[in-house]
Amino acid sequence: MPRARLVPTVRRWLRRCLLLCPLLFAGGSALSLDPAGAKPASAAIADGPIAQQVNNIEARFGDDMPELLRRLTPVEAAARASGGDDLRVFLAAWGYVHAALDKVTVAEAAIAELLILGERERLPLALASAYALRATMLQFSGRIDAAYGWIDATLPLIETSDDAALRYWVFMTAGDLASFLGRLDLGRAHFEAADAAAAAQGNRRRRAQAFVALAPVKLAMGDVVGARLDAARAFGLAAAAEVPSLMLAASLIEAQAALHAGDAAAASKAAQRGQELAYIAQRHVKGEDPEVNPQAGGPRWLGSQLRVLQQLSGLYLSAGNFEQASRAAARGLQLAALQRDSEASALASINQGMAWHGLRRHAQGRKSAEQGLAWLRQRGKNVELLQELNRYGQLLERVGDPSGALRHLREALALESELVRKDKLGTVLDLQQQFSQAAQQREREQLAHQTALLRSGMERQRSERLLSLGLAGTLGLGVVLTAWLYLRVRRANTDLRSKNAELEFVSLHDRVTGLPNRRAIERDTEALQDSSFVGLGIGIKRFGLIMGSLGHVLGDALLCQVGERLEAVVLRRGGTLYRLDGLSFGVICRGNSEQVGLESFLLELTEAIAPSFCINQQQLTVTLSIGAAEYPKDGRTPADIARAIQFASHRAREQAGTRAVVFSEGLMSHQHERLLMETRLSQALERGEFELHYQAQCRLSDRRLSGFEALLRWRSVDGLIPPDRFIPLAEASGLIVPIGRWVLQQACAQARAWQEAGLGEPMVAVNISPRQFQHPEFMDMVRQTLQSSGVNPGQMELEITEGAVMDEADGSTAQLHALRALGLHLAIDDFGTGYSSLAYLRRFPINRLKIDRSFITDLMRRSEDAAIVQALIQLSHSLGLTVVAEGVEDLSQEACLRDWGCDLMQGYVYARPVPAAQASEMLRQAQTSLVVSG
């Protein structure tokens, strides 16, 4: 079965069998408490040590795996920088959430990293976390025996540990596995140890989970009083922690225990409480069955009862109490029929058949069990089938049917082998193993070289001794011995030279492409210090994105093809191509720029890389950033040349497409100027040097004022700095996020001020940068700004570029819907300059489309631009969108746009950007003559 179907199936099975007993996370509702049980988890998420941050994040978001992953991601860098226990706690959580999200290769990589961390820093708890994570993944894949083997190896590592969270995880996992394997005494002990660990944390939620798991085990073992006591404890703790799901589970178990004790009144009371909790939960879950009377139960109530009965039936079978197992299974069949749950009915039928076997009703038992197994086979439920075949085979062996046991266990073994065969490792683990194997191979080669040196030395010493002895003998024997020893020494020296040459080649060449490596280029440039040469640095743009989509194996294949094209050009010029690191190459050509023909050389390189590459039947386009410098013109040492090449490459990387830049002194001054401006820009917000100007927009039909676009201006001590100089720098440095927040706050405050001054509610548009839109706190910032300013959200419009929403279209769509839900207007800015995906216009919940000024500028001179603008206007109107034309600068453009039905225009032909005071005056003049229309 493919893993994509395997893991979700196992998750459903675990939810059914483990009765809401999570292995690692204590997550849940927003009311969950932190490990101390004293304050909301959200209050400490961003404070305290890294391990505590991870625990708090798990405590709050453990039930929402995508959100948990998003919250853990910002912590990764700090955890890796800290190392030690902080990194161990992070890797354990990181691996578990990826395993739960079916990202098995990342989980496997986390296990490998935990093992390395444990061995490198001698951290037994890192090994324990790795073993526990491995056991959890095996449990997900249905391999219970193997999972228990790993968790059993974990137990000695945590005996003396004071990490209560890790002890809780390990003991809960061990208890689940032991109980499933029929070792109820051992499972009980593990669950009790888990409760002790949760108590040490002061975590009421985890204690409730431990008692919810412990009570059914005690009930199956005949300890009815203990089961009732544990169920009551679980309910009390869950109520204190405000976790309704655990309160419901505790009520159901308490009702079953009271029935076994013959206390009908207590059973009825617990059942009534469970029905009310199930009804409350039913009303708060969207997309499920409609509400029902709480006295009559409901789908959630029946489903919760069904899970309890299935678990009790399995535990009774493990304890050998076949009569109680039969009753629980029969009741489970009834509830499954009421819910029309075929899978639950099949599992209950198997439990019923196994119980009848135990009661010596073999014919009925075989029929019932085979009926359930047949349903699992037909539906391809291979993981559940593997579990049930193992249980059924073991029970048949216990009741004296060895042939039937052998037949079913053989089928289970074959099925497990098939599942393991199809469960392939992913590219991340493969890459780590390749790196590990490469390191081991280098160590073996080094050891072999040292051994060869030692052997050669020993051979020389032995030869010298033998030669001395031969000289003391007869002349003839001396000649023979001398010749023989000479040949032997010669052979040893030949072998040594061969091994040295091989080792030297490996140390100076890249293993993937076979090209000379960084060590080789350093050696060659040192040798050329007395001669002129031209050096190039070639980087592959967006190579990380390519590797992420292809995987490392296909990524290496792409690197080899890129290297082959570049090397063909370089060799024609008499140069040498080197691979410097994962995504960059270097070139050395003897002679100066004129001798090399640098300009034509760079042109050949760009033309060679232009055709697409075919990798695994995929067509890929690669773009390069090429920096060039000449020695000794651009530097007195090879280190100076390397720095100059780096400056030129950085400049080329800032430009779109494949670009080549030759170093000049201007690049140094440009870089220095960029650093100075970035420093001043970081202080401009604190100094109050920013201000907003407002450019009016009008309706084309009657030239009435419709609203404004807020435009940022920087008035420094040197005067007004154009936006095209500092906006890209703010975007690249990340300063655009606080600056964008200030812009939105000021624009909202100004819109509110116009409203309070009686100047109407004109629409105010604010530009949102891609980096700001993709920031994780963007939505919270927008909500806080709207709330603090008190502005009418319908008066504000957010303008978002095509690129910002197209980079992650699915996630952007959800965020755009959330913005619309706040009452904001949305516009796609600069449409036509980026992806121009018309298909996505239907998906995005936008109100306006702004046509970029580049189409309007040549509107009267280029028929192609005119056709595009007309088509965009018609298409937008068909989708119910308002169209705004930017950059309208003369009356002829305005007339054309009006004739074509364009709704709004913005540009110098109507109004230039002005400060807020002049914009207010424009609104007053509009009120005196025309009604301001939003």
The pLDDT of residue 751: 94
Residues 6+ apart with CB under 8 A from 211: 195, 230, 231, 233, 234, 237, 250
**pLDDT, position 10:** 35
Q: Is it the case that residue 221 has pLDDT exceeding 50?
A: yes
Helix (H) or strand (E) holding 523: helix 518-527
For 171-212, how does the pLDDT look when each residue is reduced to its tens digit (9 = 90+)? 988 888 888 887 888 888 988 988 888 888 888 888 988 898
What's the token pair of residue 739?
């600056």
Token representation of residue 70 = 């998003």
Tens of pLDDT, residues 111-139: 888 888 888 878 888 888 888 888 888 87
What would the mean pLDDT of 23-31 be, rounded to a whole number? Answer: 31
| Of 18, 78, 27, nearest in space to 48 by CA | 78
The C-alpha R_g of the chain, in whole angstroms, comes to: 37
Q: Whose CA is closest to 235, among 191, 281, 204, 261?
A: 204
- Confidence label for 932 from pLDDT (cuts 50, 70 and 90): very low
Question: For the purposes of burial, counting CB atoms within 10 Å of the CB of 533, is it exposed (0-12), middle (13-18) or buried (19 or more)?
Answer: buried
Q: Which residues of 325-344 are buried (b: 16+ CB within 10 A; e: fewer)?
A: bbbbbebbbebbeebebebb
**Percentage of residues of the chain with pLDDT beyond 70:** 83
Q: What is the rounded CA–CA span in Å between residue 626 and residue 586?
A: 9
Predicted confidence (pLDDT) per residue in 326-359, tens digit: 877 787 787 777 778 788 788 888 888 887 887 8
660's enclosing H/E stretch is strand 659-662
CA dist 56 and 66 (Å) reads 16
pLDDT on residue 18:
37
Tokens 């082959």, residue located: 564
- pLDDT value, residue 162: 82
Q: Residues 811-815: what's their mean pLDDT?
A: 81
**What's the CA gap between 20 and 849, in Å, rounded?**
48
Position with higher pLDDT, 737 vs 810: 737
Q: Supply the pLDDT for residue 479.
A: 78
Cβ contact 91:117 at 8 Å: yes
pLDDT over threshold 90, residue 621:
no
Q: Does the pLDDT of residue 913 top 90, yes or no?
A: yes
Q: Read off the pLDDT of each residue in 16-21 and give the average, rounded to a whole number.
A: 36
Residue 557: pLDDT band (50, 70, 90) is: confident
pLDDT for 686 equals 84
3-class SS of residue 529: coil
Beta strand 533-540 with 624-631: parallel, antiparallel or unpaired?
antiparallel
| Better pLDDT: 208 or 48 | 208
pLDDT at res. 576: 92
The larger pLDDT score, comparing residue 521 to residue 810, is at 521
75 burial via Cβ count (<10 Å: 0-12, 13-18, 19+): buried
Report yes or no: 922 and 688 within 8 Å, Cβ to Cβ: no
What pLDDT band is residue 670 in, cutting at 50, 70 and 90? low
Choice among 646-660, 827-841, 881-895 with the minimum mean pLDDT: 827-841
Least confident of 53-62, 267-276, 289-298: 289-298
Residues sharing a CB contact under 8 Å with residue 690, sequence separation 6 or more, in sequence order: 684, 712, 713, 714, 715, 739, 742, 743
Average pLDDT of the segment spanning 416-441: 52
pLDDT, tens only, 756-787: 999 989 999 999 988 888 888 999 999 999 99
Q: What string of DSSP letters covers 89-147?
A: HHHHHHHHHHHHTT-HHHHHHHHHHHHHHHHHHT-HHHHHHHHHHHHHHHHHTT-HHHH
**Residue 649, CA distances (Å) to 335, 539, 627, 658 in order:** 69, 8, 4, 11
Angle between helices 50-61 and 84-100 (to 10 degrees): 20
In DSSP terms, 798 is beta-bridged to 766, 826
Q: Please tell me the predicted confidence (pLDDT) of residue 291.
A: 34
pLDDT at residue 931, rounded to an integer: 43
| pLDDT attached to residue 671 | 66
What's the CA angle centered on 320, arms 316 and 324, to 5 degrees?
45
State how far the Cα of 518 lies from the Cα of 696, in Å rounded to an integer: 57
State what percent of residues in the chain have pLDDT above 90.
16
Q: What is the mean pLDDT of residues 917-932?
A: 80
Amino acid at 177: L
Residue pair 160/186 in contact (Cβ under 8 Å)? The answer is: no
Query: How much is the pLDDT for 672?
Result: 64
Express each pLDDT in 448-490 by its tens digit. Answer: 666 776 777 788 788 888 887 777 777 777 778 788 888 888 8
Give phi and psi for 769, each to the nearest 5: -75, 160
Q: Evaluate if residue 33 carries a pLDDT over 60.
A: no
Are 713 and 720 in contact by the 8 Å Cβ rule? The answer is: yes
Residue 750, pLDDT score: 94
Q: What is this structure's pTM?
A: 0.42
Round the average pLDDT of the chain to a whole number and report it. Answer: 79
pLDDT for position 215: 86
pLDDT band at 582 (very low <50, low <70, confident <90, very high): confident
Closest Cα partner for 621 from 630, 610, 607, 632? 610
